Amino acid sequence: MNHPLAGVYAAVVTPLKPDLSPDLEAIPELLDFLARRGCHGALLLGTTGEGPSFSSQERVQIFRAGLQVRETHPDFRLMAGTGTPSLSDTAMLTKTAFDLGMDAVVTLPPYYFRAATDDGLFAFFSDVIRKSVPGDGSLFGYHFPGVAGVGFSIELLTRLKAAFPNQFAGIKDSSHDPNFAHSLGEHFGADLLVFTGTDSYLALAMDAQAGGCITAPANLISPDLRRLWDACRDGLDTSLLQTRVTGQRRILENQLPFPPTLKALLYSIFGFPHWPVRPPLVDVSQTKIAPVVQELANFLTEGNGDG
């Protein structure tokens, strides 16, 4: 929790225009909203940001747009999703992200060859780090085997940390596996910066020495996540806060995938435009989202204001 990048991050949605092109003007406005609601930072173009649906050129445009939030929130941290199945594209996006001034990158393993070995994955990440990550840069592996089909074993993480002790900073753990969260803490302690991707496990993960979270629901519930993170940091009783966060997460999990649901809820609850999603995702109608708004209403009106 003492790491300079520790904290609460939103895996932010990507605003789109009706023609499905990135709404570059809306991106800093959304990030300003998140900064005012307690987020330490945001991940651009993760799974929730529909990262794989954008070309490399579009990703760079989105990175540039996101950096504009620092005009009003100079300390707001930005992470860039740079993982692709292509070694050269991943290296290029990673280098560009750091050249632009991103604080870190979050990088999926190449997600087409699902039988890739630890040796192959080590070679992939070694090449990306050597070519693209500056000596003071931080790359986080994105561990999401349920979606990517490829993940990070403890053995692979150990090799990468030993080979690149500064540049390979840690992982975003979206395995939704509490046993893996415990294993990370037992094996690495505070040497590997871990962000849980599961709001329901934030207190558990921080008990195992994780540094915080990067989650989709943070687009909506970041004030509660920030209060929970602060309580964990201060050694306070987190049971009620964690129960509250878990309740909200479970409501949202009934409406997967997250990108169209969160965009519909940001429109219904907070008045943002109803941004579309890119195919193969499908937009959610206001009729379908209305019961979710009702379920969340009590949570979102109890202390979840700006701050």
Which member of 9, 84, 90, 172 is catalytic?
Answer: 172
Q: Residue 142 pairs with which residues in a beta bridge? A: 172
Distances in Å between the Cα of 182 and the Cα atoms of 32, 207, 298 are 34, 9, 32
Q: Is the dihedral of CA 203, 207, 211, 215 positive or negative?
A: negative
Nearest 10 degrees: Cα torsion 234, 239, 245, 246? 140
Which member of 14, 47, 82, 94 is catalytic?
Answer: 47
Which member of 72, 112, 117, 243 is catalytic?
Answer: 112
Distances in Å between the Cα of 213 and the Cα atoms of 171, 210, 303 are 10, 8, 20
Is 161 noted as a catalytic residue in this protein?
no
Q: Residue 168 pairs with which residues in a beta bridge? A: 139
Is 198 noted as a catalytic residue in this protein?
no
Q: What is the DSSP string of 100-163?
A: HT-SEEEEPPPSS-TT--HHHHHHHHHHHHHHH--TT--EEEEE-HHHHS----HHHHHHHHHH
Q: How far apart are CA 275 and CA 303, in angstroms?
A: 26
Is 288 noted as a catalytic residue in this protein?
no
Q: How far apart are CA 263 and CA 261, in angstroms?
A: 5
Phi-psi region of 212 (alpha: psi -120 to 50; beta: other; left: phi over 0): left
Is 201 noted as a catalytic residue in this protein?
no
Q: Judge contact between 272 and 30, C-beta under 8 A.
A: yes
Which member of 142, 196, 238, 263 is catalytic?
Answer: 142
Q: How far apart are CA 286 and CA 261, in angstroms?
A: 10
DSSP state of 51: G
State how far Cα 132 lies from the chain centre: 21
Any idea which residues carry the catalytic annotation? 47, 112, 142, 172
